[in-house]
Amino acid sequence: MPDGYTPEIQIQNNQVSEQTLTKIKNHISFVNKQEMSHQNKEIQIFGDTFEMVASAENRQKHPETVIQKNTRSLIENLYQNAELILGTNHEKPSKPDGISVNFDKQGRLIVDEVVEIKSSNNAFLHGIEKGQPAKTLVTIGEIVNILNKLKKGEKTTKIMPKDSDLPLEKRIKRDVELQKVAEQLKMISPDDGIITFSPEMVYRYIVPKGEQLPEFNPHLLEDYGYAVKVEVSHSEYSKRDIHEIINKFSLK
């Protein structure tokens, strides 16, 4: 068996891929080297491990064409780097854990699902306190708006940063990054059709098997004359399963 090989792990009837396990193994090693309490390490490792497992699980449930996958990956990369792309100098943008990109009946690209992965009831409540999911939807909307401006050929210097007091150094770095995104868009989606949101878009919470969230309003943004449906999906993996995966790598 070669050095560094990470075999697939069978948890009940579910199988965690070698690729996901390698990410988990490396992340556990990284967190264990950080200067924080053992308890905080355990909390972070558990939450991050469930997020990686649930993300991979959710991707398997959404078969994609090449253009769907490339568009999704681009949007995900942009919101993961939202401070730079949006040009924020103060409040950090709220970021989702995943999205789904599809086609509408006219063949146009649409975002039809935004995903938040919560490893526990407490994690869900903490997100609510931080203004999720409303702030998360705002971030996605702003990212897609920038992409559409780039698709239409708008000059990057004309796409203003969110915060007007963004330092010049950050403005230059942002402009360079937006130019790279514009070039990526030409390869991914050469036509000038804009990316929109599905009228049936779902904001999906994914939680461990057996975890129950408190009651909440199943529709968002009703005050604006339209609504985004909120749904809860349960992973095939329970908290016990996640602890079993972590224990395979001897958390210390």
The DSSP element (H or E) to which 204 belongs, if any, is: strand 196-209
Angle at 227 between CA 217 and CA 207, to 5 degrees: 50
pLDDT tens string 169-209: 999 999 999 999 999 998 888 777 889 999 889 999 999 99
Give the pLDDT of residue 7. Answer: 43
pLDDT tens string 29-57: 999 999 999 999 999 999 999 999 999 99
pTM: 0.87
- C-alpha separations of 70 from 53, 66, 138, 159, 246 in Å: 21, 6, 22, 23, 31
Structure tokens belonging to residue 58: 């959710």
Asked whether the beta carbons of 102 and 110 are under 8 A apart, the reply is yes
Domain borders along the chain are 9-248
Averages of pLDDT over runs of 10 residues in the chain (252 residues) are 43 70 91 91 94 93 91 94 94 93 91 95 91 90 95 94 95 96 89 86 94 83 69 94 86 46
Give the pLDDT of residue 134. Answer: 86
Give the pLDDT of residue 219. Answer: 77
